[in-house]
Amino acid sequence: MTDIFDESVYQACKQELFPTDMDIALSLFIDNFSAFKGSNNSKMTILHIVILSLPPLERYKTKNLLQVVIIPGDHTGKLYTFFKPLLNELRILEDAGMKVSCPSGVFTFNVHLMLTSGDIIGVQEICHHKGHNSTYGCHQCQIKSVSHTSPSGNGTGRYYTGTVAMSDPREIEEFTEGFFKRHVKSRASPGVNAGNIIKRQLIMRNFERVYNPDELLDEQPEENDYSVEGFPEAEMWDCREGSIYDFLEDFDMREYIKKYWHNQFPDDRALTAPISTTIRVGKRLFMYGRTLYRCQKYPSTARNLDTLVRLVLPTRTSGVNGTYFGELLLFFAHEFQSQERPLCLVKLYSGVTVDKYGTTTRRKGGIPHVHRRADGSTPGDKLYVTDVENIRSYAGMLKTSLVDDRFYLIYPEMIPGDVKVTELSRV
């Protein structure tokens, strides 16, 4: 074999993926580097694309290499947050292809990613594999490492004890699918909060710079957990029975609940019928078996901004939803005319905007941001009751030094331009 095109993998898919000589094959390589010589605080991760369809002597020349992504090196394992836009574009090139107009005519061809590679550290992120410093860090077998003082005496490291026979080899699924999911939610820690992991990665400058997976907390309900019939994906933890008047000093629950039920029916029955004052209040909300949310009424003592989330809410325009950001104030369940729903009271941020960039004919949206006062509020904030299923993810804030009191709103799997900011008056 002298080239990748001589390999059986390419030959097997050649007829389907490369029916003409115009179709292009690519490879993707990942590597780390330091932006400044002698600096340990300037590490970056770079993704290169190599055009395999070029002759072997041409494809690795600097002028033919494409540097498509450069991201901070301390992204704490959340590579795909930055990687996703590139993958989306590669899928488009693979499925829809591209057209090139030349004086001799219009040529249509497709582009396919054939190979992804890099050093051990880079590849382990792409495969969702744990690092070599984890308890089971070997990528070939399941041998367990032990913690021991380094030979120099400076700190500790992970070491593999000698064995006669090799440990059980890893299954093929672990190489194709990775075992990151097991790291997020393991059998030993069924209450691990995947939402917190992603949130801390996103706002690492505000919380923890490096997240240690060995320090995950095993969170469980302290007392009663409660799920409304028909909504098994939403568990309210540490639940108790209460009244809408228990929180009268903070907000008028009756007003917001009445507005919620009014939006659920085509008539005005909720405005004229009596509203039950009984509610079930939960201190925490566990959604879809993976994400644990907190509310301001019962906040965590460990973090600020534990309650900031991204929501997708129905608007006044039928069939149209909008993206909103706000703080979770209270989790509760309420029943009206034999219908019980798991709900939350949220404070929606007003004035969320997105800067536009690009040409006049191809304008795109950037990252959403909001202006905050010194007391942490935003002008025109709105209290609103909605279904807990409308909570999409945790969100974080990053203050910009370019504009006074401006904060960027960030969230998992964020892609600039995918937020359709909607005015509060339309919710």
Q: Is 426 helix (H, G, I), strand (E, B) or coil?
A: helix
Radius of gyration of the chain (CA): 26
| pLDDT of 415 strictly over 90 | no
The DSSP string of 236-252 is EES-EEEEGGGGTTT--
- Beta strand 111-118 pairing with 24-34: parallel
Predicted pLDDT of residue 366: 67
Cα dist. 358→16, 67, 186, 204, 366 in Å?
37, 21, 44, 29, 10
Predicted pLDDT of residue 165: 64
Average pLDDT over every residue of 78-87? 77
Q: Which residue has the higher pLDDT, 56 or 138?
A: 56
Predicted pLDDT of residue 136: 74
Lowest mean per-residue pLDDT among 205-214, 229-238, 335-344: 205-214
- Alpha helix stretches (DSSP H) within 115-214: 120-126, 172-176, 180-184, 194-202
User: 94 phi and psi, to 5 degrees?
Assistant: -75, -45
Q: Identify the band that residue 413 occupies on the pLDDT scale cut at 50, 70 and 90.
A: low
Q: Are 286 and 243 in contact (CB under 8 A)?
A: no
pLDDT digits (tens, 9 = 90+) for 109-122: 899 998 888 877 77
State the CB neighbour count (10 A cutoff) for residue 160.
13
| pLDDT of 193 strictly over 80 | no
Task: Determine whether 208 is exposed, middle or buried from the number of CB atoms within 10 Å of its CB (0-12, 13-18, 19+).
Answer: middle
Whole-number average pLDDT of the chain: 77
d(C-alpha 311, C-alpha 388), whole Å: 9
Q: Are 94 and 110 in contact (CB under 8 A)?
A: yes
| pLDDT of 137 strictly over 90 | no
- Of 130-139, 233-242, 301-310, 377-386, where does the model show the most confidence? 233-242
Predicted pLDDT of residue 218: 47
| pLDDT of 243 strictly over 90 | yes
Q: Are 322 and 312 in contact (CB under 8 A)?
A: yes
pLDDT digits (tens, 9 = 90+) for 11-23: 888 888 888 888 9
Lowest mean per-residue pLDDT among 113-117, 147-151, 319-323, 369-373: 147-151
Q: What are the residues facing 322 on neighbouring strands?
A: 313
Predicted pLDDT of residue 257: 96
pLDDT digits (tens, 9 = 90+) for 280-338: 999 999 988 878 899 999 876 545 557 889 999 988 887 788 889 999 999 999 999 99
d(C-alpha 353, C-alpha 114), whole Å: 39
| pLDDT of 349 strictly over 60 | yes
Predicted pLDDT of residue 318: 78
| pLDDT of 85 strictly over 90 | no
pLDDT digits (tens, 9 = 90+) for 194-221: 333 333 344 433 333 322 333 334 455 5
Predicted pLDDT of residue 34: 75
| pLDDT of 126 strictly over 60 | yes
User: 134 phi and psi, to 5 degrees?
Assistant: -85, 170
Q: Identify the band that residue 186 occupies on the pLDDT scale cut at 50, 70 and 90.
A: very low
| pLDDT of 357 strictly over 70 | no
Q: Which residue has the higher pLDDT, 36 or 178?
A: 36
Share of the chain above pLDDT 70, in %: 72
d(C-alpha 203, C-alpha 226), whole Å: 31
Q: What are the residues facing 108 on neighbouring strands?
A: 99
- Alpha helix stretches (DSSP H) within 166-240: 172-176, 180-184, 194-202
